Structure 1
């Protein structure tokens, strides 16, 4: 196990330790100073879908939601990892029509929804996979729409040297207070460039998303406030009705978004704190346990938010028949 990571959650079955989830957690204050940590805050981590609010900033700067006459629910999908429920797909089809974009322009692959019920319904209706079903399709539409509006090539928006991708890197570097040249770039699951930052910088950018008054540049500040507001106003659009991102965003005090392979970012408005975490094995099932524990350790005042997390994934472990067979224990300190 990398020295960057420490045990975060232990899982027991019949009183016997069965599994351990390792990872790292970092909390920064409004100056960006690390005030709590477990594991290595310098660990370099791809943001994956936790980057989506920041990938939406170039479009928010141009107010492309207003350019295309989008509703708030539709525009929130620019920052979403939607799970493909029917209300997601209805909104995405509306965006396609309003932007006058062909679905084939989206670079993400054709697939089925991540939500199991939504996936089953598409199979039952004998529907083929679609690019619009991909959880990143809203992000792609945002970048395509911006490219059309700016007169950039809307067919190549996914290429690293495309103006929209360069603006994303510059925006992320500005918020993280690092040189753009220092940001490692890979390819995400949906085919777009994906960026890596040290964990404490992920905490910092989420702090600024929650508290945009900390952003000096007026255009970036307004764009961050705009996308953060859309996410809180439309939480079920960001994931679905039974997923941790949506559960957290129902709390107007939080900016929050997770990404593949166990990465998560949270900003707290009243407390003016930024949080980042990485589960080294990529598990998302232990996010609720870890995030609820962090909030409890910070003395977070809104118990309903913590309760929503435990309702999603209780710390008791049940078998397929619903019998309690074990428990999940957070084992980290801050």
Structure 2
């Protein structure tokens, strides 16, 4: 089978839930050194693709072309949760680039952050495209299209030059033919690509260690995007989410996507990690990632502790009373 048990959850000593999935770890040569489940399991990257979707934007230095701040440019790779500082930066991007909010192909919605959503409801504000967690990515791709003289209205179509550059970038960094990459449509309406877990692991290894990328322009753009993610971690998600918690550690490149997919690169150790939770759960990400880092002997305990603080392994009821526990149960397979 592609999947194995990753996490078990107990309530009152009784097994209540099991989360299956797969984990893959590669070294700097691209060799799978640890795995749980099948490393060739094919999965859509969803928002874990965002740092790589932003590489064509960074190659053209779109942030410099339009005078964006570094914090604003970080949103090109973000799944922002719609906090006030995210929306302020996004409005600034639209103003500086001359892009209209109506030009974004992502739908109008409310913020993913519950407090931010409640604030907008209390103010009787309507849904907005800028509230969508992918609006930073869309803004960057439209700005690139505008700069290159490509049709800004159709930037979301698979045969558009910007989308062709994105799939070419993924193929280049993962070391696979473009023809081998399945294409679907993501929640925000853009093309979304699928790769085996092992290839996703390679993407994140090279994002953390861009010296492994052969093309100098791609290498520089990847390094720049990765640095922005670490310099402005709260822009990538929000103040209480796993991506931002991991990116506070300058040794890590990290980004998750919908339906349980996650990628991490370790700079000093020169390792790549990817995982997929088969039921799509994001709640068990901290448990799994912390366990992986512990098993690898990762030295930054503060990063591991941040993960456990986000989602403790102790399961509590609505009143905060401990009623059970979750634990990572996967073992490394040959």
Q: TM-score, normalised by structure 1?
A: 0.99
What's the CA shift string for 1:51-83, capped at 9, x where partnerless? 000000001000000001000110000000000
Identify the residue that residue 68 of structure 2 maps to in structure 1: 70
Q: 1:127 aligns with which of 113, 125, 130?
A: 125
1:310 counterpart = 2:285 = no
Q: Distance in 2 between matches of 1:188 and 1:216?
A: 29
Q: 2:107 aligns with which of 109, 116, 127?
A: 109
Q: What runs of 5+ residues in structure 1 fail to find an aligned partner? A: none
What's the CA shift string for 1:227-256, capped at 9, x where partnerless? 000000000000000000000000000000
Identify the residue that residue 15 of structure 1 maps to in structure 2: 13
Q: Distance in 1 between matches of 2:136 and 2:45?
A: 17
Identify the residue that residue 139 of structure 2 maps to in structure 1: 141
1:28 CA drift (Å): 0.4
Identify the residue that residue 271 of structure 1 maps to in structure 2: 269
Identify the residue that residue 93 of structure 2 maps to in structure 1: 95
Q: Distance in 1 between matches of 2:36 and 2:29?
A: 19
Q: Distance in 2 between matches of 1:180 and 1:230?
A: 27
Q: Distance in 2 between matches of 1:274 and 1:63?
A: 27
Identify the residue that residue 38 of structure 1 maps to in structure 2: 36
1:315 CA drift (Å): 0.2
1:1-334 pair list within 5 angstroms: 3-334=1-332
1:290 CA drift (Å): 0.1
Q: Distance in 1 between matches of 2:281 and 2:71?
A: 28
Q: Distance in 1 between matches of 2:196 and 2:99?
A: 36
Q: Distance in 1 between matches of 2:119 and 2:272?
A: 39
Q: Distance in 2 between matches of 1:322 and 1:172?
A: 44
Q: Distance in 2 between matches of 1:10 and 1:207?
A: 28
What's the CA shift string for 1:90-139, capped at 9, x where partnerless? 00000000000110000000000000000000000000000000000000
1:297 CA drift (Å): 0.2
Q: Distance in 1 between matches of 2:161 and 2:106?
A: 19
What's the CA shift string for 1:27-65, capped at 9, x where partnerless? 000011100000000000100000000000001000000
Q: What runs of 5+ residues in structure 2 fail to find an aligned partner? A: none
Q: Distance in 2 between matches of 1:333 and 1:227?
A: 33
Q: Which runs of 4+ in 1 moved over 6 A?
A: none
1:197 CA drift (Å): 0.3
Q: Distance in 2 between matches of 1:256 and 1:144?
A: 24
1:333 CA drift (Å): 1.6
| 3-state DSSP of counterpart to 1:236 | helix
| 3-state DSSP of counterpart to 1:289 | helix
Give the root-mean-square deviation of aligned CA atoms.
0.3
| 3-state DSSP of counterpart to 1:132 | coil
Q: Distance in 2 between matches of 1:310 and 1:176?
A: 31
Q: Distance in 1 between matches of 2:61 and 2:207?
A: 17
Q: Distance in 2 between matches of 1:265 and 1:120?
A: 30
